[in-house]
């Protein structure tokens, strides 16, 4: 694997985790 592919995979994972975290906290507040 290239470093470029690894970075892209890391950003995708972080974006998904952040999205899930925001939806979870948003539902918890409301």
Instruction: Report the pLDDT value the prediction gives residue 18, as an integer from 0 to 100.
Output: 97
Angle at 23 between CA 29 and CA 21, to 5 degrees: 100
Instruction: Report the pLDDT value the prediction gives residue 14, as an integer from 0 to 100.
Output: 98
Instruction: Report the pLDDT value the prediction gives residue 1, as an integer from 0 to 100.
Output: 67
Predicted TM-score (pTM) of this structure: 0.63
Note the pLDDT tens digit of each residue in 1-30: 699 999 999 999 999 999 999 999 888 766
Structural domain spans, the chain: 1-25
Distances (CA, A) of 18 to 3, 9, 21, 24, 28: 22, 14, 5, 10, 15
Instruction: Report the pLDDT value the prediction gives residue 30, as an integer from 0 to 100.
Output: 67
Angle at 24 between CA 10 and CA 27, to 5 degrees: 150
């Amino acid at each position: 694997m290239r470093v470029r592919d690894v970075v892209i995979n890391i950003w995708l994972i972080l974006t998904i985790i952040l999205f899930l975290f925001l939806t979870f906290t948003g539902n918890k507040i409301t």
